[in-house]
Amino acid sequence: MTVFLQDQEATEQFGAHLWAALPRKCVIFLQGELGMGKTTLVRGFLRAAGYSGTVKSPTYTLVEEYTLGTCQVVHFDLYRLVDPEELEDLGIRDYFEQESICFIEWPEQGGSLLPTPDLVLQFQAEQAGRDLTVNVLNNRLKI
């Protein structure tokens, strides 16, 4: 399925839709070039979950964690990752074993250390906005 996202607000609204649709343990790959709206989507998700703090891209820190009541949300940005083995130092396997919703930007940088995603969201620029291709890989998800 492909969804047209006209602007930042539409991207945040789609993220809010995901808050209602996703189970509390899943892995979402976010793919697309720089500036496509990957972090904006995560911001919309977190806002819908009740988070009111700053949501920034973890480009330099690799990971940002958010605890929302009983829900753990982890946002990875692997753009600057040099070697997938660096993820072992982060304890990345622990994130996937716990009950958490993991958003991963630039998942191709993580190689075989990443699990198979439940959902892949691919952003692509269009003249007046973005096309978001939604690929559900886990049949328990109803997007």
Q: Is the pLDDT of residue 96 over 80?
A: yes
**Extended strands (E) in 1-127:** 2-5, 26-31, 63-68, 71-77, 101-105, 119-126
Q: Give the Cα separation of 131 and 11 in Å (integer).
A: 10
Q: Give the Cα separation of 66 and 117 in Å (integer).
A: 20
Ordered by where they begin, the domains of the chain are: 2-131 (3.40.50.300)
pLDDT in tens, 23-75: 989 999 999 998 888 999 999 999 999 998 888 887 778 889 999 888 899 99
pLDDT category at 132 given cuts 50, 70, 90 is: very high
The predicted model scores a pTM of: 0.91
Residue partners of 132: CB distance under 8 A and separation at least 6: 2, 3, 4, 5, 11, 14, 121, 122, 123, 124
pLDDT computed for residue 84 by the predictor: 80
Q: Give the Cα separation of 121 and 132 in Å (integer).
A: 6
pLDDT in tens, 99-128: 999 999 999 998 888 999 999 999 998 888
